[in-house]
């Protein structure tokens, strides 16, 4: 220390220890959400002080999400395909990355959202002119059918009665064709 020409010293007055401990963490997941039924979603996990590699294994805390092998890897970044089952649990799930002896986790890192409603089957899908009260069953995925659902056809001359049976993904109703 030097002040106005005066020099003051102290031997062993300050000690430098080793580097601060660096605990591996997941800092970002992109995208951080996906829909039920989504296949091949490209997911990138960013780490800090991590040692990711192409042999890293990724798992999710909930059921219905599977991660494929990494398609790209650096020490701090991992890209991999993810598939979400149609019946995957909705909501936030944790992610775990295991690389050798290193395990890195992040709670609530990825959110499963509902799939897009779609009609998957109409049975029967044909009818004859003049046919009345043809029992038609419509099957959907990610739907919320009920006995108060209203069904219309885009063509003319087709009328539909109220549903005679309904579940969240199935609707049965009488159809008449002019």
H or E segment and range at residue 31: none
- CA–CA distance, 164 with 53 (Å, rounded to integer): 56
As given in the structure block, the two tokens for residue 7 are 């020099």
pLDDT at 1 over 60: no
Q: What is the DSSP string of 151-170?
A: ---SSSSEEE---SEE-SSE
**Cα first-last separation, the chain:** 102
pLDDT at 7 over 90: no
Q: Tell me what pLDDT residue 20 has.
A: 67
Question: Do 115 and 107 form a contact (C-beta atoms < 8 A)?
Answer: no
Q: How confident is the model at residue 5 (pLDDT cuts 50, 70, 90)?
A: confident
As given in the structure block, the two tokens for residue 46 are 């960013």
DSSP annotation of 156 reads: S
Q: Tell me what pLDDT residue 110 has.
A: 98
- CA–CA distance, 44 with 50 (Å, rounded to integer): 14
pLDDT digits (tens, 9 = 90+) for 23-71: 999 999 999 999 999 999 999 999 999 999 999 999 999 899 999 999 9
From residue 53, give the alpha-carbon distance in Å to each of 30, 67, 74, 118, 157.
18, 15, 6, 39, 62
Identify the CA nearest to 58 among candidates 81, 76, 36.
81
- CA–CA distance, 29 with 110 (Å, rounded to integer): 7
Q: How confident is the model at residue 22 (pLDDT cuts 50, 70, 90)?
A: confident
As given in the structure block, the two tokens for residue 30 are 């992109």
Lowest-pLDDT choice from 16-20, 90-94, 100-104, 122-126: 16-20
Side-chain half-sphere of 123: how many Cα atoms within 13 Å? 6
| CA quadruple 169, 174, 177, 178: dihedral sign | negative
Q: Tell me what pLDDT residue 155 has.
A: 82
As given in the structure block, the two tokens for residue 48 are 């800090």
Q: How many CB atoms lie under 10 A from the CB of residue 98?
A: 14
């Amino acid at each position: 220390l030097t002040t106005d020409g005066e020099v003051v010293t102290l031997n062993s007055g300050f000690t430098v220890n080793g580097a601060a401990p660096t605990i591996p963490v997941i800092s970002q997941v992109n995208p951080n959400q996906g829909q039920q039924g989504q296949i091949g979603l490209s997911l990138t996990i960013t780490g800090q002080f991590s040692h990711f590699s192409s042999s890293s294994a990724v798992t999710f805390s909930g059921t219905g999400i599977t991660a494929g092998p990494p398609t790209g890897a650096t020490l701090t970044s991992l890209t991999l395909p993810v598939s979400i089952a149609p019946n995957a649990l909705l909501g936030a799930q944790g992610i775990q990355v295991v690389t050798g002896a290193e395990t890195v986790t992040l709670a609530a890192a990825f959110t499963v959202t509902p799939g897009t409603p779609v009609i998957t089957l109409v049975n029967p899908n044909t009818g004859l002119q003049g046919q009345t009260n043809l029992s038609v069953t419509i099957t959907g995925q990610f739907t919320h059918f009920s006995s108060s659902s209203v069904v219309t056809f885009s063509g003319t001359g087709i009328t539909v009665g109220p549903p005679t049976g309904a579940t969240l993904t199935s609707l049965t109703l009488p159809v008449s064709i002019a």
